[in-house]
Chains A and B, each alone.
Chain A
Amino acid sequence: MRANQANYSVMPIGEKALREKIDKIAHDCSRLHQYPMRLFKEHVEEVRKEVIRRLLDSEATTDPILKKQYYLFSWLAVYLLNDQVEKFALVKTSANNSMWKQLNTVIDDLVNRLGLSSRPLPFFGGSFYCTGSFTYTERGIQLSPFYQVSAESHESILFWPLLAHEIAHLRLNETDMVNDLRSELTRQNLRNEKYRRRLDEALCDIMATLLYGPAYIASFGTKFWQILDELSDESYPSNQFRLFAMFTTMERNDVGQSICSILRDNFQISERQAKKEKISFMMDEMIELGDKLVRHPTDVDEAKIADFCVNPNSIDKGRLDYLFNTLWLMTYQGTQTFDAVTDMANGLLERWTKGL
């Protein structure tokens, strides 16, 4: 006897129910014709076809272990798709938000500069995060990746550089260049998955810093500095290490050094504390990898930024790295209030999206 003789008579009913569910989801999405909504419809259709194929395999095989596996795969695909549908409702609502076009402009900037294979669907949610179907392309599984990225609604546009960290997660999903660093963790006896997560988080910080320069450090530090030290979640590198790695990345690339020194004064980083982080021994390799993964890193020229602080309207259209860095410098120098800088950012980005 090769496998347990379980009673699988319930399976056909379960399979039918799953098939009906995925058909309903696909039907609900079938009227989405406009980009970027169409992307979701295409994704749903792709998942539906795969689920149907796998349910047929489940029906056809006589091996109970395989039957269960094909059913579970279909179940998981529908489970994750349901979660994406929930988020997609937020995409539809977000399309009516006055900041929708601006959000898409930032997403496009990041997708292009990171060379991402699939454009994520953005929406306004409860915080900055990303989700989706990630690894279907691994080892012969055929589905293409599908991503969703949330920007915290009601948060000032000044914090949107945090989206760079989220999109960097998607970039890491599309490369095997990170495997050597992950293997190094096991070599160093850091085998628990929490270290792999910490490595990914630190790499995403480094990539986000390369994309938006000191503006990313300012967004991250301003939003989290007071909170992160109170957290004890082991999936994240220490706050001290994260900021130390960001500043070191800027130093190695010799970008935005005078803005960084203003920020350093505010965020008091201790190198000694930073190096207590278990994954800190790989920082140089992480920065090296970040350099390889970011296709177009920022090259913010501080003399230009100083000019833009006097006349923000002269910032080159589409240069979001210059926009964010100018605005954060104005904020930290205290030449404008936070509210005034936020209004300025909204106005400039709105003009750019209208092509003015």
Chain B
Amino acid sequence: MNYISRVELDMTKKWFLVEEANRNMNIAMICADTIYAVNQLSGEPNWSVDKIESSIDNGKRFLEEFSVAIQSMYSNDVSSDPFMFSLADETARSIEVRPKQLVSMTRKAIADLSKRLLSSEAYDLLTSIIKVTQQAAIHKCELIKPIIL
């Protein structure tokens, strides 16, 4: 591969890397906001009621999408986009559970959020997703340009 073509390639790839870093970080933020919003229901809130409610709803919506992505790992009738699929796969690996177990954990978390609660299992699920997406986002940033000296 000559120098010029490598430069062309790197620049176009950068588009995808920034996009993928953003996507991962957005999901980490949705999960973090969901936990923080539920925490604020039982104490002195820092956010407005609207912000708390919409953060919990965003978390629920994300988990519903996440649940579909997990199901696509074992059912041919269900499909999801490759990004959500690999997030589901990575999460299942990181907490060492089978996809079907992960679906039931996710459904339980959705049910918790509907009641504006967060069990320790739901908290563990959300923080696991945060860790997986944080790692992916930082890895993409490192590929964009070196982070460490």
Interface residues of A (CB under 8 A from B): 2-3, 56-57, 60-61, 63, 65-66, 68-70, 72-73, 76, 79-80, 83, 126-136, 138-141, 150, 169, 173, 179, 182-187, 190-193, 195-197, 200-201, 227-228, 230-233, 235-236
A-B contact pairs, 7 of them (CB 8 A): A66-B36, A72-B134, A76-B25, A139-B61, A183-B79, A231-B9, A232-B1
Whether the pair B5, A195 counts as a contact (CB closer than 8 A) is no
The verdict on B113 contacting chain A, using a C-beta distance below 8 Å, is no
Contact assessment for A193 and B20 in the assembled complex, using a CB-CB cutoff below 8 Å: yes
**B123 partner residues in chain A, CB cutoff 8 A:** 2
* A140:B9 contact, CB within 8 angstroms: no
Among A57, A68, A129, A183, point to the contact of B12 (Cβ < 8 A).
Answer: A129
B1-60: which have CB < 8 Å to A?
1-2, 4-5, 7-9, 11-16, 18-23, 25-30, 32, 35-36, 39, 46, 54-55, 58
Decide if A131 touches B55 in the complex (CB within 8 Å).
no
Q: Do most interface residues of chain A lie in helix, strand or loop, or is the interface mixed?
A: helix
Contact with B130, one of A65, A196, A197 (Cβ below 8 angstroms): A65
Could you say which of A66, A135, A182, A192 contacts B22, with CB atoms under 8 Å apart?
A135
Kindly state whether residue B141 has any CB partner on chain A within 8 Å: yes
With A69-B28, A193-B20, A196-B82 known to touch, is A139 a contact of B58 (CB < 8 Å)?
yes
A-B contact sample (10 more), CB < 8 A, given A66-B35, A184-B79, A227-B2: A61-B39, A66-B36, A69-B29, A69-B130, A133-B22, A135-B26, A183-B81, A185-B81, A186-B79, A195-B82
Inter-chain contact total with CB atoms closer than 8 Å: 146
Q: Which residue of B lies closest to A184 (CB)?
A: B79
A70 & B32 in contact (Cβ 8 Å cutoff):
yes
Evaluate contact between A127 and B86: CB separation under 8 angstroms.
no
With known contacts A72-B134, A230-B2, A57–B61 Cβ distance under 8 A: no
CB distance from A36 to the nearest CB of B (A): 20
B46→A186 contact, CB < 8 A:
no
